[in-house]
Amino acid sequence: MNKILISVVGPTAIGKTKLAILLAQHYKTEIISADSRQFFKEMNIGTAVPSLEELEQANHHFIQHKSITEEYTVGDFEREAIQKLSDLFKVHDVVIMVGGSGLYVNAVTDGLNTFPTIDPSIREKLNLELAEDGIRPLQKKLKQLDPIYFEKVDIYNPQRVIRALEVAIGSGSPYSSFLNKPKAKREFKVLSVGLKAERPLIYERINERVDLMVEAGLLEEAKGLLSHKDYNALQTVGYKELFKYFDGEWTLDFAISEIKKNTRRFAKRQLTWFLRNKDTQWVEYDYDPKTLLPKIETDIVNLKNG
């Protein structure tokens, strides 16, 4: 238990990649990505994948290692990430994990929760409702059946909404009632470091990032994926809005404004999720490395001794 996983968390566009690389270089170690949007090789600009220069500064794992045509669940990620950590901890005392996908972060640090077996016909019915009426009625139903989870989940992700609904309907109990069970036993300790900033600043950084993505060719990237728009991987902010533009439902300006709005909403839910972990050490986004690194060293010593 002298092995330490430093988990870097926080809202989108806050600077998690930069901090992860700083820590990886300081500890001469490697990085595991827990950003579910960055797993897919066809999605580059819209998911803010680390640049080639950033990837060269530290060895990353679970970046663009899957295709959008492949089924890849959080359970698959947990299994593969734990195996990768086992290998990395044979040569490193400290490994870095970075990502804003709270469910995937928790899968590695605490393990997944166990859910009851659900009749597949429930999911089929919900998918049919989604296809016919869109996601809004499903969001409304989730808010009624599980208001606790409704406040935490990305309600614009149909896969997550449908998963929560099928469990609630099939079991008769809220999806949230199956969460927060005893943690899985891990062979390492976790130091969670969160980046924070005032909300207006976070929103400003998000707006700037979206504008930069558009300048970098996000429209061309999304257009090239239009024929695959029904895949789960593409039911995400930055792509689904542009698909509506390409389909003639929205103007380009409105689609871009919706990307910004939905990304801001996503960041708000990320903060809600990560703030639940009372052990997270929160750091200002414009930290001074000369001050931060000694503090993390002290936190690691305390964690080992604790």
CATH number of the domain enclosing 299: 3.40.50.300
Q: Give the chain's domain count.
A: 2
Average pLDDT over every residue of 260-273: 94
Mean pLDDT of all residues in the chain?
A: 94
Whether residues 143 and 265 fall in one domain: no
Whether residues 109 and 128 fall in one domain: no
Distance CA(276)–CA(280), nearest Å, equals 9
Displacement of CA 84 from its chain's centroid (Å): 19
Q: Return the SS3 of 282.
A: strand
Predicted pLDDT at 152: 85
Confidence band, pLDDT 50/70/90 cuts, at residue 178 = confident
H or E segment and range at residue 165? helix 158-171
Rg of the chain on CA atoms, in Å: 19
pTM for the whole structure: 0.84
Whether residues 209 and 251 fall in one domain: yes
Q: How many CB atoms lie within 10 A of CB 48?
A: 21
Q: Torsions phi, psi of 233, nearest 5?
A: -60, -25
What distance, in Å, lies between the first and last C-alpha atoms of the chain? 11
Whether residues 100 and 219 fall in one domain: yes
Whether residues 73 and 142 fall in one domain: no
Asked if residue 61 lies in contact with residue 32, where contact means CB atoms within 8 angstroms, the answer is yes
Using alpha carbons, list the distances in angstroms from residue 76 to 111, 181, 221, 244, 297.
12, 20, 27, 31, 32
Displacement of CA 58 from its chain's centroid (Å): 20
pLDDT in tens, 211-225: 999 999 999 999 999
Q: Which of 156, 178, 200 delimits the end of a domain?
A: 178
Distance CA(35)–CA(102), nearest Å, equals 9
Whether residues 189 and 96 fall in one domain: yes
Whether residues 104 and 194 fall in one domain: yes
- Residues forming the annotated binding site for substrate? 12-17
Confidence band, pLDDT 50/70/90 cuts, at residue 181 = confident
Average pLDDT over every residue of 272-284: 94
Whether residues 153 and 234 fall in one domain: no
- Residues forming the annotated binding site for ATP? 10-17
Distance CA(100)–CA(88), nearest Å, equals 22
Confidence band, pLDDT 50/70/90 cuts, at residue 182 = confident
β-bridge partners, 6: 96, 191
Whether residues 151 and 20 fall in one domain: no
Using alpha carbons, list the distances in angstroms from residue 241 to 38, 53, 248, 265.
18, 29, 11, 14
Q: Which CATH number belongs to the domain containing residue 136 in this structure?
A: 1.10.20.140
Distance CA(231)–CA(218), nearest Å, equals 18
Displacement of CA 61 from its chain's centroid (Å): 15
Q: Which of 135, 157, 178 delimits the end of a domain?
A: 178
Residue type at 212 in one-letter notation:
L
pLDDT in tens, 107-160: 999 998 778 888 889 999 999 999 999 999 999 999 999 999 999 888 888 989
Whether residues 170 and 191 fall in one domain: no
Asked if residue 18 lies in contact with residue 202, where contact means CB atoms within 8 angstroms, the answer is no
Q: Return the SS3 of 190.
A: strand
Q: Return the SS3 of 84.
A: helix
Q: Which of 178, 202, 222 delimits the end of a domain?
A: 178
Whether residues 30 and 168 fall in one domain: no
**Range(s) of the domain holding residue 64:** 4-113+183-305
Q: Residue 51 corresponds to which tokens in the numbers above?
A: 């640049």
Q: Residue 180 corresponds to which tokens in the numbers above?
A: 């927060």
Angle among Cα 24, 26, 31 to the nearest 5 degrees reads 5
- Residues forming the annotated binding site? 10-17
Whether residues 66 and 207 fall in one domain: yes
Q: How many CB atoms lie within 10 A of CB 19?
A: 22
Displacement of CA 201 from its chain's centroid (Å): 20
